[in-house]
Amino acid sequence: MAKRNQQNGSGRFTQKMSIKLAVLFIMILVAFAFLGIRLFIINRDNGDKYKKKVLSQQAYDSITIPAKRGDIVDRNNTKMAVSQKVYNICIDSKTLNKDDGKYLESTIAALYSTPAEFSYTKDELRSYILSNPDSQYRVIARKQGYETVSDIMNMVNNPSMYPDFKGVWLEDTYVRQYPYNSLACDLIGFVQGDNEGAYGLEEFYNSTLVGTNGREFGYLNDDENLERTLKPAQDGKTLVTSIDVNIQSIVEKNILAFNEEHRNEAREGDGSTNTGVIIMDPNNGEVLAMASYPTYNLNDPRNTDNLDIKVELDPEQFGIMNGILDGTDISEMDDSELAETVRKLAGGNNDAGDESGDNSEGIMEQDIEINVGNSDEEENDAGDPYSGMTYAEAYDKAYEEAKMEALNSLWKNYCISSTYEPGSTMKPFTMATGLEDGILRGDESYVCNGVTEVGGHEIHCSNRLGHGALTFEGAIEQSCNVAFMKIGTQIGKTEFMKYNQIFNFGLKTNIDLTGEALTNSLVFNINTMTPTDLAISSFGQGFNVTMIQMAAGFCSLINGGYYYKPHVVTRILDSAGTTVETVEPRIIKQTVSQETSDKIKELCVGVVENGTGKSARPAGYRIGGKTGTAEKYPRGTENYVISFMAFAPADDPQLVCYVVIDEPNVGYQAQSKYAAVLCKDILTEVLPYMGIFQTEELTEKEAEELAEKQQEFSKGSTGDSEEEVVGEIIVDADTADDGSNGTGAITFVDENGNELDEEDLTGRKIDIDPETGYAIDPTSGVLLDPQTGAPIDPTVTDLR
């Protein structure tokens, strides 16, 4: 290479040119050297900082994978609360604006050709994308079902087939749905905000239901290589409850019927302030149904349409004198005009908050009471919460507070959260105390003159004329207060209070529901209890209980003395359907002996057969029970809590049904028969459903009523559910008349008029398992082959 032609011809590269070329080469080398140094300096000075920058940009690259909240199902696996996978549609404006927005129109057109419901119109979306070119995340449609977004999903997943569709993706999320709307609302509770259970099972078991969110993220491994990792979501667990949706429906239907019947009867409003019913299995403490009235729709818990929101505000506090409200004369106005005026005045401040729509609507439709003459002292004592506000602002605030208060009382579960004086349903407990202690032998007799004097107070019996001479049984059958005050005095406060503790009064039952009231301050203290207190306690006045306390205690009285912890959840399943926890019935204590329990059962049967509980007897059944009528505080206002506590069937109790009606909307409230009749109506439907057969003869009148009712049931059930009614009950009037057929007074026939034997009857209310199509044996829960009736081995059948 060294030997090259160095000739210098005229057309050749000259020496000067070579020198200049060398100069150029050196300048180029200098430039390269400079750039090399520059590279080195960037690494030396900013290397670490830029490394971190690169990593921090990566941190945004993680996606949360939401966990599915567990379902809540009843004892037959009927779903009461489910989480449905839905999709949010999101857009990336930056991508849509790329390439001069080439894909913008085609993408928008494709989006709006699908049935999804967007939060924006086409034009709004277009202008949003154009005016926010840097936005990379915007949800444009929320919680869309799979069917709705399937087209979009297809386009998102196949970019090569849809090259003009860009900048859109779907985000998974879940919505909570309650297929039965308001059914068992107080028991189930709802979900608010970010997957947070409120009230009932949803709150109590929130941590079980909620699951753990998963995450997909990228990270750098030891060699600083990027790796992607998926941590899958752990779905929440499913709660299997002891509730039976059918029983719950029967209960709620009858509660509603009662409240509708007595609506606006003695006063404006519902048929009662509250109506609560608990049905429990006394043999294991499982709650079969728990309902109260009024109810709300779990799918829309904040709906205030049916609420009576009362605002109590004194206009004079706001300088509105002589009935002049912001320049408007209100002295001549009636309630609705006043409300309208206030609404107009408050209207200007209603913009804030999403509730404003509901708010003004609510004010228009609902009954607003403005107490012009409200007591000033109270408000001054508490400090004025409305200081510095105009009347309209204060009205808004007061309305908001009143609304929350109304909603909170609506969401509250009356059966566990409200306390009241039990009244005469306490009497079986008092009698059991006396019998267990040996103070009562069962052959005592009493004389009632209608009044007795204890500790200087004259206390009347429910029958002011007096019951006269009463046997031991008669005392409870007639619910004689005078006799029970005597029994109470005989027992003495020490023993009485000891047994109250044993029956769990003043303590929580610790049922697995949120919101159980603590009554320890609402029962008598043995140290300060006076003879009068003892006397009225013996018939259930002067101290407070919750419904669940009474129901759980009563279960122990009639099941041989075993106090089971009341509970709703029986099993917990993981997301694959495997049982991870079984809640066994838990006996907390023995309250009374078997003998006492048998005696109490006998006495309670007497109450229904011969005494105050006659109207509670469902036709064809022998049950036991006890009425209750408790006067509420303040005494003398004629407000009562009436109740009925029943067990059925009398010989082998399968259920306890406790009905409480708070302030029935009737002229004279102190009539426990309202509760007794409601109890009868419920039992009339629930007992046949549970496969408990009639044992008693029907009178002709009962038979007719029953036939009529049965007609209603079958109509109702075919109308609103798929419940299979194989046959219908007809009454053989002839056999009922001569009584020769004993228990066979009722015959079941199928549609073709063929008589059904007992095996068919068991199948009368058989449910069909929707997954497998097999029938379910109502007593054992085992799947049956519909052809042969033979049980199917559940281990063979895949229940999923």
Binding site for other proteins (CB under 8 A): 1, 3-5, 9, 11-14, 16-18, 20-22, 24-25, 28-29, 31-32, 34-36, 38-40, 42-43, 46-47, 49-51, 53-54, 57-58, 99-100, 134, 159-160, 220, 223-226
Nearest-approach distance from CB 134 to other proteins, in angstroms: 7
Cβ-based nearer residue to other proteins, 42 or 63:
42
Pairing of strands 238-241, 226-231: unpaired
Residue 614 CB burial class (10 angstroms; 0-12, 13-18, ≥19)? middle
Cβ-based nearer residue to other proteins, 102 or 231:
102
Nearest-approach distance from CB 22 to other proteins, in angstroms: 7
Nearest-approach distance from CB 157 to other proteins, in angstroms: 12
Cβ-based nearer residue to other proteins, 33 or 65:
33
Cβ-based nearer residue to other proteins, 52 or 460:
52
Residue 527 CB burial class (10 angstroms; 0-12, 13-18, ≥19)? exposed
Nearest-approach distance from CB 173 to other proteins, in angstroms: 25
Nearest-approach distance from CB 169 to other proteins, in angstroms: 13
Shortest CA distance to 422 belongs to which of 672, 624, 673? 672
Annotate 213-268 with DSSP letters as a single string: -EEEEEEE-TT--EEEEEE--BPPPEEEES--HHHHHHHHHHHHHHHHHTTTSSSS
Nearest-approach distance from CB 10 to other proteins, in angstroms: 8
Cβ-based nearer residue to other proteins, 49 or 701:
49
Shortest CA distance to 254 belongs to which of 728, 679, 711? 679
Cα-Cα end-to-end distance for the chain = 84
The half-sphere exposure of 222 on its side-chain side, counting CA atoms within 13 A, is 0
Q: Are 411 and 295 in contact (CB under 8 A)?
A: no
Nearest-approach distance from CB 125 to other proteins, in angstroms: 23
Nearest-approach distance from CB 250 to other proteins, in angstroms: 59
What gap in Å lies between CA 516 and CA 419, rounded to an integer? 10
Tokens 């009922």: give the residue. Answer: 736
What gap in Å lies between CA 250 and CA 255, rounded to an integer? 9
Cβ-based nearer residue to other proteins, 20 or 460:
20
In eight-state DSSP terms, residue 569 is E
Cβ-based nearer residue to other proteins, 228 or 267:
228
Nearest-approach distance from CB 57 to other proteins, in angstroms: 6
In eight-state DSSP terms, residue 131 is H
In eight-state DSSP terms, residue 286 is B
Residue 42 CB burial class (10 angstroms; 0-12, 13-18, ≥19)? exposed
Nearest-approach distance from CB 97 to other proteins, in angstroms: 12
Cβ-based nearer residue to other proteins, 63 or 733:
63
Nearest-approach distance from CB 64 to other proteins, in angstroms: 20
Other residues' Cβ atoms within 10 Å of the Cβ of residue 318: 18
Name the H helices within 60-138.
93-101, 104-112, 122-131
Nearest-approach distance from CB 120 to other proteins, in angstroms: 25
Cβ-based nearer residue to other proteins, 31 or 65:
31
Cβ-based nearer residue to other proteins, 16 or 441:
16
What gap in Å lies between CA 318 and CA 107, rounded to an integer? 57
Cβ-based nearer residue to other proteins, 99 or 305:
99
Cβ-based nearer residue to other proteins, 14 or 380:
14
Nearest-approach distance from CB 24 to other proteins, in angstroms: 6
Q: Are 538 and 485 in contact (CB under 8 A)?
A: yes
Cβ-based nearer residue to other proteins, 50 or 633:
50
In eight-state DSSP terms, residue 514 is B
Q: Are 271 and 258 in contact (CB under 8 A)?
A: yes
Shortest CA distance to 604 belongs to which of 679, 664, 671? 679
What gap in Å lies between CA 606 and CA 625, rounded to an integer? 8
Cβ-based nearer residue to other proteins, 31 or 364:
31
Nearest-approach distance from CB 154 to other proteins, in angstroms: 15
Pairing of strands 272-280, 287-293: antiparallel
Other residues' Cβ atoms within 10 Å of the Cβ of residue 725: 16
Q: Are 548 and 518 in contact (CB under 8 A)?
A: no
